[in-house]
Structure 1
Amino acid sequence: NAQPGVDGYKVGRMAPWNDGFVKMANLAVVSCHSVNGVSKLHSEILKDRVFHDFYTEMPEKVHERDQRDRAPALALP
C-alpha cells in the first residue's frame, strides 16, 4: 500500500534487505551512528552517489573525518 508523499523506489533503495537480498552497506548505515568519509573527496562521493538517499533523509549520519589524527594513538602499545 503506497503512502502519500512516500517514494516507494527510494524506500526500496534504502532498505537493508529487498528482493530476498541483504544489502550490507545499507544495513551498516541503518545500524551505525554515522558513516565517515576518510577525506573530503570520499565524503562527497558518499553524499552524492553511494548513500545519496540516506544523506537526503539523514544528513547528520555522513561525516568527513581524517583518520590521521587517530593514527598515533592507535600505534601506541
Structure 2
Amino acid sequence: QDGRSPIHHAVLYGDSQTTRLLLDMGIDVNTPATDGRTPILLASIEGHADIVDILIEHGCHINHVYFSAITPLSVAS
C-alpha cells in the first residue's frame, strides 16, 4: 500500500534477522520501492550499519543513483 515491499520495511525498522531471512529466501536485494529507493539507500539513511553489511553480503548495488546523484555512499559519508 505504501509502495514498499517486506524487505523495505525490515530495513527501515532495523530488523536484521528478517532482512537476512528475506534475502536468504531469494528476495531481490536491489528491488526499489515505488519512490525509487532501494534497501541499501534506506539502510544508509536510517543509519543501520548492520543491515548495510547484510545487504552488501547479498550483492546489493552500492552505487545505485537515486534522483539527483544521491547514492548510499554519499548518504553514509
| Same fold, judged at TM 0.5 (above) | no
The structure that is strand-richer by fraction is: 1
Structure with the greater relative contact order (CA < 8 A, sep ≥ 6): 1 or 2? 2
State the TM bucket, normalised to the shorter chain. under 0.3
- TM-score of the aligned structures, taking structure 1 as reference length: 0.28
TM-score normalized with structure 2 length: 0.28
Greater helix share, structure number: 1
